[in-house]
Amino acid sequence: MIATGIIMGQLKDGYRIAIFTLGILLVFRGLIKLFYYLTMARYMVGGKRILFTSVFMLDLGGFSLTLTDIPRMFVLLYLLIIYASSGIIHLLRSIEAKKLQSPIWRRPFVLGLGNIIIAALCVILRKDDTLMGWIFAAGIIYSGLLRVINSLRRTAIVYIQ
């Protein structure tokens, strides 16, 4: 994500690379979830949710791969919708975790708030495609950095001794 954000910010057509990468990753992730459903999840409680998620990811990835030939504004609006919905989901998840008195509610709150701020900035500055592209590039780098920080965080479970 960090590399994609840097490429998207530096190149004039960096958004095409970002959309292509996003599409490939969504298709790949959808295929992995579909394989998981076919091998194990169909026997589990909630297995149909994994099937629906895999089909949705495959569809979204295929749709993303077709967006490389349309104007940049439509692609950025598509990314704006993804950022806004992701931010709302993270905020709702953090509110639920806080109600359950979980100590891990701050990271989803910060991530969701950041995504919503990025989406709001893009709505405000929607007339300038270049500035909107830079904002999205900064948002992708921000999300990547938060994921790296989360992966380096200590956990309460000891995995390997």
How confident is the model over 109-141, as pLDDT tens digits? Answer: 888 888 888 788 777 877 766 777 777 777 778
pLDDT in tens, 138-155: 777 887 887 888 788 776
For the whole model, what pTM was predicted? Answer: 0.59
pLDDT at 161: 58
Per-residue H/E/C for 82-128 = HHHHHHHHHHHHHHHHHHCCCCCCHHHHHHHHHHHHHHHHHHHCCCC
Q: Cα separation of 58 and 64, whole Å?
A: 10
All residue ranges of the chain with pLDDT < 70 are: 12-15, 17-18, 68, 71-73, 75, 128-129, 155-161
CB–CB of 134/12 below 8 Å? Answer: no
pLDDT at 117: 86
CB–CB of 117/84 below 8 Å? Answer: no
pLDDT at 37: 92
pLDDT at 65: 83
* 73-to-36, 51, 106, 145 alpha-carbon distances in Å: 36, 32, 33, 26
pLDDT at 9: 76
CB–CB of 80/122 below 8 Å? Answer: yes
